[in-house]
Amino acid sequence: MNILVTGGAGFIGSHTVVALANAGFNPIIVDDFSNSEPTVLAGLKNILGYEVPCHIFDCNNYPGMLQILRDEKISGVIHFAAFKAVGESMQEPLAYYRNNLGSLLTLLDAMLAEGISNFIFSSSCTVYGEPDTSPVTEKAPVKPATSVYGQTKQMGEEILRNVAAAKPLKIVALRYFNPIGAHPSALIGELPRGVPSNLVPFVTQAAAGLRDALTIFGDDYPTSDGTCVRDYIHVMDLAEAHVAALRHSIKIVESNFFDTFNLGSGKGNTVLELVRTFEKISGHPLPYHIGARRKGDVIAVWADVQKSYDLLGWHTKRSLEEALEDAWRWQQRLGDR
């Protein structure tokens, strides 16, 4: 089956391309390279042994999208293409609404015109805000978003729920917790632009001497060591969950289907635990200091993954150590770029 992967040159998208190909699907990438690099395609070729077709393209272009769905005989779409920087989303709300929601509407229109029903959407645990308890299940209330980025994910889910109720679509929304790591070959991985705002790319860059000390944002939270708790998931585990979600969607016989799934490890780790684990696997102390809390950070969130296990038959296979080893190998391969 030919599967369109929008944002397929991005961090999670590129790893999902590998997982799809490993599972016998034919991934076809659409990416405008606005937040990714064409070098990813060479990495994919090295891993897979063939060139993955790639259309350099903005998903907001309806006639173009229709043409690709038709020409490539697409049977399902995994939609990653979106802006994802929380801070930037507050500065450029229109760009975020236009890109994240506009491309979603365009794709859905084109899929309906072509009679394609299988759709996998990248959502986020950010929809839970500060949950009342963790592990958090998919039944937990969706809390008002504190960023425009978060809002585009919540609104995306709502749009999909409403469209699936009215139109012949089978939609799976995947709520990612904190994806980290890289392909074990170190041929693909995360390529943050500028100073990373996410924890693990900052840690690996600081360890490589490219950044000054890590600032840990607050150590006075009500957690075991005072730092925030997150559910870190290896990007290859996350990628494999997309294959499981796609298979689930293909198996569903009802034509108006929408459901949400948590994708996490099911375990919570504090920032300090992650730092200590990184120091252990890299063999070096990591320079860090404690700073002020970061505005908008939730205290603790980790996933209840029972539903994903029961219905998708998926669970994580890789440990935090493996994820950090792979992230570190990738950083060492990148050198000082």
Active site residues: 149
> Shortest distance, CB of residue 271 to ligand UD1, whole angstroms?
5
Cβ–Cβ under 8 Å, residues 292 and 210: no
Residue among 79, 84, 170, 248 that touches ligand UD1 (CB under 6 A): 84
Q: Which helix (H) or strand (E) holds 28?
A: strand 26-31
Pick out residues in 250-309 that bind ligand UD1 (CB under 6 A).
271, 294, 297-298, 301
Stretch that binds ligand UD1, among 35-43, 210-218, 251-259, 328-336 (CB under 6 A): 210-218
Q: Can residue 327 be called a binding residue for ligand UD1 (CB under 6 A)? A: no
Stretch that binds ligand UD1, among 5-13, 88-96, 120-128, 159-167 (CB under 6 A): 120-128
Cβ–Cβ under 8 Å, residues 227 and 53: no
Pick out residues in 152-181 that bind ligand UD1 (CB under 6 A).
178
In whole angstroms, give the CA distance from residue 222 to residue 71.
Answer: 54
Closer CB to ligand UD1, 117 or 152, in the complex: 152
229-230/269-270 β-pairing = antiparallel
Contacts with 69 (C-beta within 8 Å, 6 or more apart), sequence order = 4, 77, 110, 111, 114, 116
**Site size for ligand UD1 (CB under 6 A):** 21
Q: Can residue 215 be called a binding residue for ligand UD1 (CB under 6 A)? A: yes
Stretch that binds ligand UD1, among 118-126, 133-141, 258-266, 323-331 (CB under 6 A): 118-126
> Shortest distance, CB of residue 226 to ligand UD1, whole angstroms?
11
Cβ–Cβ under 8 Å, residues 260 and 140: no
Q: Which residue is nearest to ligand UD1 (CB)?
A: 228
SS3 83: coil
Q: Can residue 86 be called a binding residue for ligand UD1 (CB under 6 A)? A: yes
Around Cβ 36, how many Cβ atoms within 10 Å?
A: 22
> Shortest distance, CB of residue 84 to ligand UD1, whole angstroms?
5
Contacts with 33 (C-beta within 8 Å, 6 or more apart), sequence order = 9, 56
> Exposed (0-12), middle (13-18) or buried (19+): which is 336, by Cβ within 10 Å?
exposed
Omega of the bond leading into 135 within 30 degrees of 0 (cis): yes
> Shortest distance, CB of residue 254 to ligand UD1, whole angstroms?
30
Six-digit token pair at 6? 């929008």
Residue among 124, 205, 282, 316 that touches ligand UD1 (CB under 6 A): 124
Stretch that binds ligand UD1, among 6-14, 53-61, 214-222, 315-323 (CB under 6 A): 214-222
For residue 231, give the nearest of 320, 337, 150 by alpha carbon: 320
* Contacts with ligand UD1, residue ranges (CB under 6 A): 84, 86, 124-126, 178, 197-199, 202, 214-217, 228, 230, 271, 294, 297-298, 301
